[in-house]
Amino acid sequence: MRALRVGLIGSGYMGKCHALAWNAVAPVHGDVARPELAMLAEANEDLARERAAALGFARATGDWRALVGDPDIDVVSITTPNAFHAEMAIAALAAGKHVWCEKPMAPTLAAAEAMAAAARASGRVAMLGYNYVQNPAVRLIASLIGDGTIGQVNHLRIEMDEDFMADPAAPFSWRSEAAAGYGALDDFAVHPLSLIHTLVGLPAQVFGEMAKPWPDRPSPAGRRAVETWDIAAALLRFASGATGTIQVSRTAWGRKGRIFVQLFGDRGTIAFDQERFNEVQLFVAEGPRATRGFRTILMTPDHPPFGAFTPGAGHQLGFNDLKTMECRALIGRIAGEPSVGIDFADGLAIERIVHAIARSFREGRWIASAG
């Protein structure tokens, strides 16, 4: 497969992550051609040129439509705020490009459905930025569930907490605008849902709750009403009879990048805390009760693709390494290989759960996840 020619729309936090991944994927994995960083689009020409030079892109533009329409680009990375995802992704797919779009898909279910329909119609590969499913630790957990190590899963709990919006004096931003979506529910809860989708399959019914700890935030024009919810939770029921909970907060002082996963089976328990990124805790109900306990499994080259990054057992992988794994998965999909990842069809299933949770919150009742 020849080298892919890449266009990047947006060069903020996630844009930089995508650029680092595109730069690293060939030397790290060693089995793909080095992508060509062809063009970067930003809000204006000056910023685009500055960021293109910093991130290694050959050309720059202040018009994302020019990037999408360029015949010399094969795949488009979209890392803009949520409200822009649908228009950009649909335009890129219509232009025959493959797409790597950050999560969530879009603020509205109709827009997410349009994105999934565009992907189906185009025949192109369209993947979403759910990089946490790439973690070798998560892949190990999937294999432990699959081989019956903890038996039949009967309950799960996932918490995702950060504190970047915990300060009530923090200024109003696009994340507090209704145009961005519900708030923590689609900004954060989609990550636990991507893990649930990957590990056990999505729930059949949900019951949701959302909270808004700060009713307004400072803005240049004075106090501005917060239009989203910074805390969300959901009870889950699965077709298997299993149950679960999700709890997420963007206002949890002291939590920096915590995704705490617990999976309880009839023969054992698996626990994983993303703030201890390279460890899995496993309890199996075997042997004398007096000596039973959790054991810590450190990630090593025995847990692919850990070894592509470092040959040293117990050495540490990080967030940007997951983006490089995700980039490799995208390239694999384009080449026709099976790979771990959340495509637009999977992403739409996650979005349906999100909107079912929001509907449950509004109506105060259990909602079937597909309706």
pLDDT in tens, 106-115: 999 999 999 9
pLDDT in tens, 283-312: 999 999 999 999 999 999 999 999 999 999
Q: Where are the domains of the chain?
A: 5-128, 132-313+343-363
Whether omega before 213 lies within 30 degrees of 0, making that bond cis, reads no
pLDDT in tens, 142-185: 999 999 999 999 999 999 999 999 999 999 999 999 988 999 99
Reported confidence tier of residue 116, pLDDT bands at 50, 70, 90: very high
Q: Is the CATH code 3.30.360.10 the one for domain 132-313+343-363? A: yes
- Helices 190-199, 344-363: axis angle to 10 degrees equals 120
Mean pLDDT, residues 20-43 taken together: 98
pLDDT in tens, 184-231: 999 999 999 999 999 999 999 999 999 999 999 999 999 999 999 999
Name the residue type at position 8: L
Q: What pLDDT, on a 0 to 100 scale, did the predictor assign at position 54?
A: 97
Q: Is the CATH code 3.40.50.720 the one for domain 5-128? A: yes
Residue 371 has pLDDT above 60, yes or no: no
Q: What pLDDT, on a 0 to 100 scale, did the predictor assign at position 314?
A: 82
This prediction's pTM: 0.95
Q: Rounded to whole angstroms, what are the CA distances from 223 to 178, 216, 218, 268, 297? A: 16, 6, 4, 50, 48
Q: What pLDDT, on a 0 to 100 scale, did the predictor assign at position 2?
A: 83
Residue 370 has pLDDT above 80, yes or no: no
pLDDT in tens, 311-354: 998 889 999 999 999 999 999 999 999 999 999 999 999 999 99
Q: Please state the φ and ψ torsions of residue 171, each to the nearest 5 degrees.
A: -70, 155
Report how far residue 268's alpha carbon sits from residue 291's, in angstroms, rounded to the nearest whole number: 14
Mean pLDDT, residues 45-67 taken together: 98
Reported confidence tier of residue 36, pLDDT bands at 50, 70, 90: very high
pLDDT in tens, 233-244: 999 999 999 999
Q: Please state the φ and ψ torsions of residue 256, each to the nearest 5 degrees.
A: -110, -45
Q: Please state the φ and ψ torsions of residue 78, each to the nearest 5 degrees.
A: -115, 115
Q: What pLDDT, on a 0 to 100 scale, did the predictor assign at position 317?
A: 95
Report how far residue 70's alpha carbon sits from residue 76's, in angstroms, rounded to the nearest whole number: 11
How many CA atoms are closer than 13 Å to the CA of 50, on its beta-carbon side? 9
Residue 1 has pLDDT above 80, yes or no: no
User: In this predicted model, which residue has the larger pLDDT, 21 or 369?
Assistant: 21
